[in-house]
Structure 1
Amino acid sequence: MKVDVSTVSRPELRGLSEAAGAMFLVGTLAGVSGVIGDYPVYGGQAMRYLLAAVVLLAVARMAGLRFVRLTPGETALLAALSLTGLVIFNVCVIEATRHGGPALVGTVLGTVPLALALLGGRPSPRLLSAAAVVVTGATVATGLGSGEAAGLLWSLGALGCEICFSLLAIPLLPKLGAVRVSAYSASLAVPLLVVAGLLADGTAMIRVPTAPEIAGLGYQSLVVTAVAFFLWYDALPRLGPGTAGLFAGLIPVGAIATGAVLGLGAPSPPDLLGAALVVAGIVLGLRAGAPAAGADSPPAKAPRPAGAG
């Protein structure tokens, strides 16, 4: 099975590589989560997004991207994106892991490609089939897991927030661009997480991190947040949510690869089979061809972000 790259435009090729890189990097989060497992969750996430916001705002300034004044509706949309896609998502994942384990969470999040394909427009039957193959591969790689009903409900909440992370950003990207959407959403997440941390842990929400915790939080901030957010938000308008969503299946693949590199365990046969199914599903989706007008494909020429250059 082969994709004819000669028929793919340069913006689409860039979008494909960015979507793949973003979701793979998100998958590496599992490899470093053990390093910061003892650090207060909400305080650690607040520090993560604070550092990421500082980096992204500095990048925007160096790129000459001036501050853009938002309408009340756009401000509400950005706040909803930050609240659901960043803050509540983390809460749901934390609680789902406590009640059902990481395997259950990973399996439910493996349905993101299918959900985005269904919600992203009028997907072709082949794109839906590809999304189903990706979901199957992610499920095999992650394992069905076990847990109580509360774990499943929290996992479903995380799935909804992951979908909001993409769909709520799409109306904002033409005006703000990927850097500012990433920077603004990360900035808004900080005070929200601080409030949640004070309510949950009080003053114990933050302490001086150890050297390994500094490395883990720094990796989350710079790689999983700043870099991955930009890559994902830059890819979305180039590909559309249905096609870009296929690459969410690379999350467990990134986790498997990171575990092997860090010596946390060699991948098992189900891991390798799941990874192969994910890749096969992505290739099948890319072979689906351009969807019908108004379907999953992005407009031929996206509006130029304000202040770009």
Structure 2
Amino acid sequence: MADMSTDVSTDTPRTRIRGLSQAAGAMFLVGTLAGVAGVIQDYPLYGGQALRYLLAAAVLLAVTRLIGLRAARLTVREGALLAALSLFGLVIFNVCVIEATRRGGPALVGTVLGTVPLALALLGGRPSPRVLGAAAVVVAGATLATGLGSGDLPGLMWSLGALFCEVCFSLLAIPLLPKLGAVRVSAYSAALAVPLLAVTGLLLDGTAMLRVPTLPEALGLGYQSVVVTTVAFFLWYDALPRIGAATAGLFAGLIPVGAIATGAVLGLGTPSVPDLLGAALVVAGIVIGLSAAGPPATAAGSPAAGGRQPAAGAGSPAAPASSPATGASARRSP
């Protein structure tokens, strides 16, 4: 797994604020998936996900052409990292979430995924006690907002697999972002996920993996593809080099908050007192974590958008422990 200290943060407060806003927006959008889950629940799962990533890849590849990004030549190592990112962060992640939901319900997998901030803080090198405390508060809030499910041991194991893949989704992208930038990492990983999901669907569902969707299903799959995949992927990958892995990871606690807000807006349910308390804890943990973060390190150029190679020595692993991302190094993760 990639060393979290190899990435680079940018050099201005404005850029850092942009990264914080993007990380928050990305995780909130991921949480809105709950609002469309009921619409597409009867559509073949793997075929639907293959269609989702196919459309997302088409949009993202079109964007790369429009903004003048050429196809990148990858080294063997970079190709392997990209393939692993797509396999673990997209394909196997979806399989784990699907199976965990079937066995333990969405509450169980949601609760386990709520530990992403803590996992990233622990993997970030030498996190300060304040950062660990902030991550623990976010985890507690996400758990309270999601609710502990009544799943069995297989459901828990699938959920832990989803947690591992969610961490891979971020960490495996870190070495790729300086060269490729957020748009191409998102586009290439989504494109690679399509044949992998298609093969899985054929093996498990045969020709039944695809059918003509109803209008609500088409709208739901389109939302997943354009908003949750295309937009959220770019926001997340663009944020990582700006604010660092552990800081960005705190915003994973907004996933259940996004689900609560979407449910309320769509009339799917009124938030309960535990929902609201959990959301408040998540926000408090994020504030604590951000207050513990030091100023971002100076870099020669941001790898997030244009893919320029950073200056040597930036993001040193010997950075102060008070930084949640080992010297504001970036972490890269749907």
Query: TM-score, with normalisation over the residues of structure 1?
Result: 0.93
**Corresponding residue for 2:212?**
208
How do 1:57-72 residues align onto structure 2 when only pairs under 5 Å count? 57-72=61-76
Partner-residue secondary structure (3-state), 1:35: helix
**Corresponding residue for 1:125?**
129
In structure 1, what is the Cα distance between the partners aligned to 2:281 and 2:307? 40
**Corresponding residue for 1:4?**
none
**Corresponding residue for 1:46?**
50
Instruction: State yes or no: 1:19 paired with 2:18.
Output: no
In structure 1, what is the Cα distance between the partners aligned to 2:301 and 2:164? 27
Gaps of 5+ in 1: 1-7, 292-296
In structure 2, what is the Cα distance between the partners aligned to 1:231 and 1:88? 22
**What is the CA-CA distance between 1:302 and the residue it aligns to?**
4.3
Inter-CA distance 301–276: structure 2 relative to 1 (3 Å threshold):
farther
In structure 2, what is the Cα distance between the partners aligned to 1:110 and 1:127? 16
Percent pairwise identity: 79
Query: TM-score, with normalisation over the residues of structure 2?
Result: 0.87
**What is the CA-CA distance between 1:301 and the residue it aligns to?**
3.7
Instruction: State yes or no: 1:223 paired with 2:227.
Output: yes
How do 1:238-277 residues align onto structure 2 when only pairs under 5 Å count? 238-277=242-281
**What is the CA-CA distance between 1:65 and the residue it aligns to?**
0.7
Q: Deviations over 1:133-157 (max 9, x none)?
A: 0000000000011111000000000
Contact 2:302 2:308 (C-alpha < 8 Å) held by counterparts: no
In structure 2, what is the Cα distance between the partners aligned to 1:221 and 1:185? 13
**Corresponding residue for 1:171?**
175
Contact 1:64 1:307 (C-alpha < 8 Å) held by counterparts: no
Q: State the Cα RMSD in Å.
A: 1.6
In structure 2, what is the Cα distance between the partners aligned to 1:122 and 1:68? 34
State the AA in 2 paired with 1:217: L
In structure 1, what is the Cα distance between the partners aligned to 2:300 and 2:280? 34
In structure 1, what is the Cα distance between the partners aligned to 2:93 and 2:32? 17
Partner-residue secondary structure (3-state), 1:83: helix
**What is the CA-CA distance between 1:125 and the residue it aligns to?**
1.3
**Corresponding residue for 2:299?**
300
In structure 1, what is the Cα distance between the partners aligned to 2:174 and 2:293? 22
Instruction: State yes or no: 1:236 paired with 2:240.
Output: yes
In structure 1, what is the Cα distance between the partners aligned to 2:298 and 2:153? 42
Instruction: State yes or no: 1:89 paired with 2:88.
Output: no
Inter-CA distance 302–75: structure 2 relative to 1 (3 Å threshold):
same
**Corresponding residue for 1:3?**
none
**Corresponding residue for 2:293?**
289
**Corresponding residue for 2:312?**
none
In structure 1, what is the Cα distance between the partners aligned to 2:228 and 2:50? 14
Contact 2:31 2:258 (C-alpha < 8 Å) held by counterparts: yes
**What is the CA-CA distance between 1:231 and the residue it aligns to?**
0.0
**Corresponding residue for 2:163?**
159
Gaps of 5+ in 2: 1-11, 310-334
How do 1:133-148 residues align onto structure 2 when only pairs under 5 Å count? 133-148=137-152
**What is the CA-CA distance between 1:121 and the residue it aligns to?**
2.3
**What is the CA-CA distance between 1:289 and the residue it aligns to?**
3.2
In structure 2, what is the Cα distance between the partners aligned to 1:93 and 1:106? 9
In structure 1, what is the Cα distance between the partners aligned to 2:221 and 2:242? 30
Contact 1:173 1:181 (C-alpha < 8 Å) held by counterparts: yes
Number of aligned pairs? 297
Contact 2:177 2:307 (C-alpha < 8 Å) held by counterparts: no
**Corresponding residue for 2:13?**
9
Inter-CA distance 193–11: structure 2 relative to 1 (3 Å threshold):
same
Partner-residue secondary structure (3-state), 2:217: helix
In structure 1, what is the Cα distance between the partners aligned to 2:171 and 2:298? 16
Structure 1 residue aligned with 2:59, among 55, 62, 70? 55
Contact 2:178 2:308 (C-alpha < 8 Å) held by counterparts: no
Partner-residue secondary structure (3-state), 1:244: helix
Contact 2:301 2:308 (C-alpha < 8 Å) held by counterparts: no
In structure 1, what is the Cα distance between the partners aligned to 2:146 and 2:297? 31
Contact 1:78 1:169 (C-alpha < 8 Å) held by counterparts: yes
Contact 2:22 2:235 (C-alpha < 8 Å) held by counterparts: yes
In structure 1, what is the Cα distance between the partners aligned to 2:129 and 2:227? 35
**What is the CA-CA distance between 1:300 and the residue it aligns to?**
3.1
Instruction: State yes or no: 1:110 paired with 2:114.
Output: yes
State the AA in 1 paired with 2:61: L
